[in-house]
Structure 1
Amino acid sequence: MNREQVCLLKEIMEISFVLDETALYLDTHPNDEKALRLHNSYAQRYSEMVSLYEAKYGPMKNHSMSQYPWAYINDPWPWEFDYSLC
């Protein structure tokens, strides 16, 4: 496992957490424009980070585009990373 891959995946997971939390907040506060701007900025960042990860290391999800041969099953799996590297 390479440190850059681990750190990139960790950042994607952190951004995903922020998106989940802001989405839950916005479910009950739909008119909070500041929260919506925050959510949208993280959504953009998430999209960019996932695109970067997939370009370098292959698909993150089984419904993502894959090069030939099918790459979703390639190691390592997310639970096999040593996140203390970051």
Structure 2
Amino acid sequence: MMRYDRQNLMTHQQLSMLTDIQKLHFAVTDLALFLDTHPNDPVALYRHHTYASQLRQYRDAYEAQYGPLCNMNPEMSDTWRYINSPWPWEM
């Protein structure tokens, strides 16, 4: 049985933000795959640009409040904060 510390539990707001990021990431990836076979589709291009911009904003807002989402992102603080978030199996 896993033990959960208070520090590792996600708040409702944090979980909601993370869910929104996951939805946008899926939409951007799906549209990118579609654009691989339909590169001149203006609606898909517009949606990809819109969702990619939203995804960037949501990620920036999440990381500013809760720390990095990925260990590949540049760390701007004086400590390695990536390990402070719960692991996917702890959510």
TM-score by length of 1: 0.88
2-side partners of 1:14 and 1:55: how far apart?
Answer: 19
| Structure 2 counterpart of 1:26, from 20, 35, 42 | 35
1:77: Cα distance to partner?
2.0
Q: Return 5+ residue gaps in structure 1 as ranges.
A: 82-86
| Higher RCO structure (Cα 8 Å, ≥6 apart) | 1
Mapping of residues 1-86 of structure 1, within 5 Å: 1-66=10-75, 67-81=77-91
CA radius of gyration, larger in? 2
Cα offset, 1:78, TM superposition: 3.2
SS, match of residue 74 in structure 2: coil
Q: Which amino acid aligns with 2:22?
A: M
Matched to 1:37, the amino acid is: Y
Q: CA deviation at 1:63?
A: 1.8
TM-score where L is the length of structure 2: 0.83
What percent of counterpart residues are identical?
43
**Cα distance between partner residues in 2 of 1:55 and 1:40:** 23
Question: What secondary structure is seen at the aligned counterpart in 2 of 1:69?
Answer: coil
Deviation at 1:76?
Answer: 1.1
> Using a 3 Å threshold, how does the CA distance of structure 1 residues 49 and 28 change in structure 2: closer, same or farther?
same
Extract unaligned runs of 5+ from structure 2. 1-9
